[in-house]
Amino acid sequence: MKFAFTTKGDPKSNTLMHKMRSQLLEFDLIYDEDQPDIVISVGGDGTLLYAFHRYSSRLDKTAFVGVHTGHLGFYADWVPDEIEKLVIAIAKTPYQVIEYPLLEVIIRYQHGGKETRYLALNESTVRAVEGTLVMDVEIRGDHFERFRGDGLCISTPSGSTAYNKALGGAILHPSISAIQVTEMASINNRIFRTVGSPLILPSHHTCMLKPVNEPDFQITIDHLTLLHKDVKSIQYRVADEKIRFARFRPFPFWKRVRDSFISDKN
Ligand code: NAP
């Protein structure tokens, strides 16, 4: 089996990575940065986001596993004290693969520019370059609302515990194939109206955002922020691709939610 690492880059994560790497090589596993079967992310959930984007072109051939060197994570669930156990598990046990849905983002441009396509593991957000974001929101091809406010966030189920949660979105179990649309400070008064609640769309529904006047936007894809000019539309839906996690022991999602946000005590 071929393996690779991504690390947060701090001394603790790097030391841990070197230790795991020598142990895996002793088990005759092959270090291959370009075509790994398993990618071990050492750091936090943010590090796993980087790992995902680094290997997003080979998602069907790669499984991810995360070790956290800071606080408990959603994607990084192994602790430094357990790395020997994890190394043996990687080397010796056929692992179970758990798949989580991803968000597909297609940005189309005015004047016939070539469209761009992205995959997000957590979410994509849209903001105006300056001032209030004004966009028409279409759901499944029908006009839904004209949004005015700070921005919109479209998240995956596993990203629902990240930015989406801070915006008052629901936490979705990652076995649900859906995307969630949440508002950032919408303007609501007697003239301007938005639904105000987070929306959860099934995998066969598309959410399309269309500019009303200003066609330039700041669009994030997980940790990446990009300026897109002359945008005609931004299309969101559940992607056909999925991220695969190597699972060596049960780690229930709701336990992770509780341990992260409520208490890790019994
Ligand atoms: P960052 O600003 O350095 O870290 C953002 C925090 O979000 C980190 O504590 C990270 O955990 C945590 N996180 C990432 N994915 C998560 C998930 N699925 N569930 C729960 N927590 C999660 O940025 P970054 O490390 O480059 O990560 C980018 C992410 O930051 C974005 O995808 C967005 O979700 C999140 N973000 C959140 C807010 C907010 O909550 N107000 C605002 C902007 C962006 P680790 O410490 O384990 O890495």
Question: What are the pLDDT digits (tens) for 125-158?
Answer: 999 999 999 999 999 999 999 999 999 999 999 9
* 158 CB within 6 A, ligand 1: yes
Measured between alpha carbons, how far is 198 from 200 in angstroms, rounded to an integer? 7
pLDDT of residue 72: 82
Q: Binding residue per annotation — 123?
A: yes
Q: Which residue type occupies 252?
A: P
Whether the predicted pLDDT of 266 surpasses 70: no
pLDDT band at 195 (very low <50, low <70, confident <90, very high): very high
Whether the predicted pLDDT of 166 surpasses 90: yes
Secondary element (H or E) of residue 48: helix 45-54
Whether the predicted pLDDT of 174 surpasses 70: yes
pLDDT of residue 251: 84
Q: Tell me whether residue 28 is one of the annotated catalytic residues.
A: no
pLDDT band at 112 (very low <50, low <70, confident <90, very high): confident
Q: Binding residue per annotation — 148?
A: yes
Whether the predicted pLDDT of 265 surpasses 80: no
pLDDT band at 113 (very low <50, low <70, confident <90, very high): confident
pLDDT band at 67 (very low <50, low <70, confident <90, very high): very high
Dihedral over alpha carbons 234, 236, 241, 243 (to 10 degrees)? 110
pLDDT: which is higher, 93 or 26: 26
| Backbone Cα Rg of the chain | 20
Percentage above 70 pLDDT, the chain: 99
Percentage above 90 pLDDT, the chain: 94
Whether the predicted pLDDT of 33 surpasses 80: yes
Whether the predicted pLDDT of 109 surpasses 90: yes
- Angle at which helices 11-26 and 83-92 pack, to 10 degrees? 40
Q: Binding residue per annotation — 81?
A: no
pLDDT of residue 141: 97
Nearest CA-CA partner of 182 in 160, 215, 153, 209: 153
pLDDT of residue 93: 86
Q: Which residue type occupies 51?
A: A
pLDDT of residue 71: 86
The tokens describing 124, both together, are 């994509």
Question: Whose C-alpha lies nearest to ligand 1, atom 42?
Answer: 163
- Where do the domains of the chain lie, and which CATH numbers do they carry? 2-95+248-261 (3.40.50.10330), 102-240 (2.60.200.30)
Judge contact between 8 and 46, C-beta under 8 A. Answer: yes
Q: Which residue type occupies 3?
A: F
* 44 CB within 6 A, ligand 1: yes
Q: Output the CA 1–ligand 1 centroid distance in Å.
A: 31
* 66 CB within 6 A, ligand 1: no
pLDDT in tens, 201-249: 999 999 999 999 999 999 999 999 999 999 999 999 999 999 999 999 9
Whether the predicted pLDDT of 10 surpasses 70: yes
